[in-house]
Structure 1
Amino acid sequence: MTPEPDPCTNDDEIITWWGLVIEGYLATQDKLMGEIAARFGLAPASFDILMRLVRSPEHRMPMTRLAGEAALSSGGFTKVADRLVAVDLICRVPSPTDRRVTFAALTDHGLDIAQQARAAGAEILRRIVLTPLGPDTATLANAMRKLRTANTKN
């Protein structure tokens, strides 16, 4: 029996492998975000912002940090934040200790919607990720954590 080529040394294998990672992610993200949009009317960036805030202390975060974590430009983040403010999901709160800092904070309505969306997102991910992958899920999560750490700018 001939051993399979090592994907680290075979150019076609590693390019194909990476393409499968991207295609799998995109298909899964599209399905997740399609269901979130249908249930809550949230665009992907809005969902991401709400998920970051609902898991943050006091359900708030400095706007510049939130924009960076969400990988949005300051202008792009401002547009998303303006939309979330307009529908009473977040508000802007000045820092009591540093007037240069403004927090994005969930409103009461925003907290309710974020908690519902988080529960729905978890349910959808259990169905579309955990069920197909089974016990491989933890391995995948650990691998992605390693990639993020190895490839994040310091």
Structure 2
Amino acid sequence: MGAEVDDVGDEELITAWGLLHEALRAVDPKLLRGVDPGGGDMSIPWFEVLIRLQRSPGHRLPMNQLARHASLSSGGFTKLADRLERKGYVKREACPDDRRVVYAQLTPAGLEVAEYARAKHVQLLREHVLGVLGSAEVRQFAELARTLRDRSAPE
């Protein structure tokens, strides 16, 4: 371990990690206010799935990949996908090359909701994150978060 690692004490490290969690718990609810065009509250996993699909080629991804990204169990994600399908936002599509793979794909109504939610979310991010931290700090935070995520990914 280098000096930059050894000079951080246990309490400082615990405090830094705790502050990150506290900041996320404080900001997260603010970032979902009004993103549901129906006026209800959209859950974080619901929002995550819609946005990931909206940003993906063909607006579709394998369901197991979506479950992993939304940090849901297979059963939990199936229930969420069922609700999204009942709302008419998502449809399931079998993979023609691999019967084990099922895709979730945004419907036109789902794409419309996802685009509305994304635009509102960006507005809230600009207010509650960019407006508080500034552009250089947002870029630095993204770089740090990416490094931590990539180095912590399962092997």
Question: Fold conserved (TM > 0.5)?
Answer: yes
Equivalent runs, 1:122-141 vs 2, <5 Å:
122-134=122-134, 135-141=136-142
* 2:34/2:41 contact within 8 Å kept: no
Q: What are the superposed Cα offsets for residues 15-44 of structure 1, whole Å, 9 maximum, x if unpaired?
A: 111111110111111211244358454221
CA RMSD in angstroms, aligned pairs only: 1.8
- Normalised to the residue count of structure 1, the TM-score between the two structures is 0.89
Amino acid at match of 2:139: A
Give the deviation of 1:7 after TM superposition. Answer: 8.6
SS at match of 1:36: coil
CA separation of 1:25 and 1:8: change in aligned 2, threshold 3 A: farther
Percent sequence identity is 42
Amino acid at match of 1:93: E
Q: What are the superposed Cα offsets for residues 78-127 of structure 1, whole Å, 9 maximum, x if unpaired?
A: 01001100100101011122222111000110001101111111111011
* 1:7/1:13 contact within 8 Å kept: no
Equivalent runs, 1:3-152 vs 2, <5 Å:
8-37=7-36, 39=39, 41-134=41-134, 135-152=136-153
Amino acid at match of 2:30: K
In the alignment, structure 2 segments of 5+ residues that lack a partner are: none
Give the deviation of 1:13 after TM superposition. Answer: 1.6
In 1, Cα distance between the equivalents of 2:28 and 2:70? 15
SS at match of 1:61: strand
Runs (4+) off by over 6 Å: none
